[in-house]
Structure 1
C-alpha cells in the first residue's frame, strides 16, 4: 500500500494503487437537509423531525437520517478535485457509528483497499474504504463502496 494522497485530477483504473487516498471537503449538515430528505423519502421518524422527538430517544437535537449522510458523502466524493473515472457504484456496505446532528460538519477519507480487473477490457473495479468524521474528528459512519471505473485505454 502506497498511501499517497491523490492530488487534483481524473484517475483511471491504471492510475490508482491500493492504499491511495482521496479526502473530501467538509459539509455542514442543516435542518434543511434533514427536512428535504424526509420530504423525498417519507422517513419522518420523530428523531429526525423534532427536538422533542429526538429528546424522547436521548438525543440533544434532531438527528440526520443515516442514509442522508451516506448520500451526502457520495455527493462529496463526486465533488472532490481528485476524481475516480467512475462508471457506476456497484454496492455499499455501511455502518452508522454515531449520530450526525444539525450543525455538524462531515467529511470523508476514501482509501482504495483493492483493485480487480473485469471481463470488459475498458473497466476495472475498485474497493474503497470510507471513514466519515465530524468536526471533532469522531467517526460517524464508515464502510465500503465497490466502484466500477474506466481504464485509460478505453
Structure 2
C-alpha cells in the first residue's frame, strides 16, 4: 500500500474539519473483490460489457480473466473509507476526479490510502470542503486506481451555552 511521506498518521477516531491538516493520512481495511461483486455491480449499473462478464473475451484482450468495473473500484474505495476506524465527519461528496491505473481482477485484495490534500471553509462559513486523495492498491502494493474527492465536512459543534439558573 502506498503511504504518505508527510503529515500525521491519523489514529482511529472522529475528525471534524478543524482537526484535519494537509498531509494527514490513513489506510483503510481491505476487501477481496469477488465474482459476486462484479455480477452485482453489472446488474445495478446495467454495464454488462464483455470485459466484465466474459472470461474468454477478457483473456483475448490480454487479461488473465474478467476485469472489475472501474466504477466498482471507486465505489469499493469509498466504502472502505466510510467503514474505516478513522471517521471524517462528512455531510456529502461534492465530486470526484478519478483514474484507472490497472485492472482489478476477481480475487484481488484492495485497500486505500487516504490523504488530506487541502481544505477550505464554504462561502457561508458553516461547513468545510476537504479534498481527499485516494490511492487504491492491490495485494501486490500496485496502485490500480487513484484520484480525489471534495468532501463537504462538518465543523466541530460549538459548546452548548451554560444553563442559567434563576433559583
Pairwise same-fold verdict (TM > 0.5): yes
**One of 79, 90, 100 as aligned partner of 1:96:** 100
- Paired residue secondary structure (1:34): helix
Matches within 5 A, 1:103-142: 103-142=107-146
Structure 1: unaligned runs, 5 residues or longer: none
Output one character per residue of 1:49-94: Cα deviation in whole Å (capped at 9) or x when no partner: 0211211211111100000010011100100001110001001000
How many Å separate the matches in 2 of 1:129 and 1:50? Answer: 32
Aligned counterpart, 2:52: 48
- Paired residue secondary structure (1:55): helix
**One of 131, 143, 147 as aligned partner of 2:147:** 143
Name which one, 1 or 2, has greater alpha-carbon Rg: 2
How many Å separate the matches in 1 of 2:17 and 2:157? Answer: 10
Aligned counterpart, 1:10: 14
Aligned counterpart, 1:19: 23
- Paired residue secondary structure (2:78): helix
Aligned length: 154
**CA-based RMSD:** 1.2
Q: CA deviation at 1:122?
A: 2.6
1:36 equivalenced with 2:36 (yes/no): no
Q: CA deviation at 1:38?
A: 0.4
Aligned counterpart, 1:84: 88
Structure 2: unaligned runs, 5 residues or longer: 159-167
TM-score, normalised with respect to structure 1: 0.96
